[in-house]
């Protein structure tokens, strides 16, 4: 990379870091090009992205973005996975990808002002998706309404049953 391109790259990384909901740092030492392409496709399907970065430039971009305490993650080849929509999706994709490709390893991450360890990232990846959480919330909100409808429908049903029983008794 030419010297004149470095400030532009730092600025682009800074904007990316500020827009991201979550940042996951990984080491992709030994991955084949086809495996990296596969990982990029999986991340893209979840509206996430990945970039192989120069450690020195990332440190400058993080400092410019006001994010501190992540310097220990930048030793060796570094890949940054991020998402501007869902903070859980890059973690899920990377953890699932590591199960098949052991050459990729997670170094750590950053979410909402907190530095994430590998254990926290794995816990984040085990969370249900946003859609699943919405479905559970909707189910919780609908249960009282279902109960009320059942009770309200039972009253006329019981009245009809009682009238029918009275009619059978008299005939």
Q: Where are the domains of the chain?
A: 3-127, 129-171
Q: How high is the pLDDT of residue 159?
A: 82
Compute the average pLDDT of residues 9-13. 81
Average pLDDT over residues 101-119: 81
**What is the pLDDT confidence band of residue 1, given thresholds at 50, 70 and 90?**
low
- Average pLDDT for 56-64: 81
Secondary structure letter of residue 78 according to DSSP: E
Q: Are strands 78-83 and 22-27 parallel, antiparallel or unpaired?
A: antiparallel
CATH number for the domain whose boundaries are 3-127:
3.30.70.1730
How many CB atoms within 10 Å of residue 86? Answer: 17
Q: Which residues, 6+ apart, have CB-to-CB distance to 75 below 8 Å?
A: 55
pLDDT, residue 125, reads 82
Q: How far is CA 7 from the centre of its chain?
A: 30
pLDDT above 70 as % of the chain: 99
Instruction: Give pLDDT, residue 139.
Output: 86
């Amino acid at each position: 990379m030419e010297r004149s391109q470095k400030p532009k790259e730092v600025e682009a990384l800074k904007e990316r870091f500020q827009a991201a909901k979550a940042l996951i740092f990984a080491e992709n030492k030994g991955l084949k090009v086809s495996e990296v392409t596969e990982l990029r496709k999986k991340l893209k399907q979840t509206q996430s992205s990945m970039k192989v970065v120069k450690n020195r430039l990332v440190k400058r971009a993080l400092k410019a973005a006001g994010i501190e305490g992540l310097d220990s993650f930048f030793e060796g080849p570094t890949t940054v996975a991020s998402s501007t929509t869902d903070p859980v999706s890059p973690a899920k994709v990377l953890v699932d990808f590591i199960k098949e490709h052991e050459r990729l390893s997670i170094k750590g991450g950053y979410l909402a002002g907190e530095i994430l360890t590998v254990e926290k990232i794995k816990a984040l990846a085990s969370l249900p998706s946003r859609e699943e959480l919405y479905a559970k919330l909707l189910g919780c909100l609908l249960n009282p309404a279902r109960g009320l409808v059942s009770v309200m429908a039972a009253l006329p049903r019981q009245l009809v049953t009682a009238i029918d029983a009275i009619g059978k008794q008299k005939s």
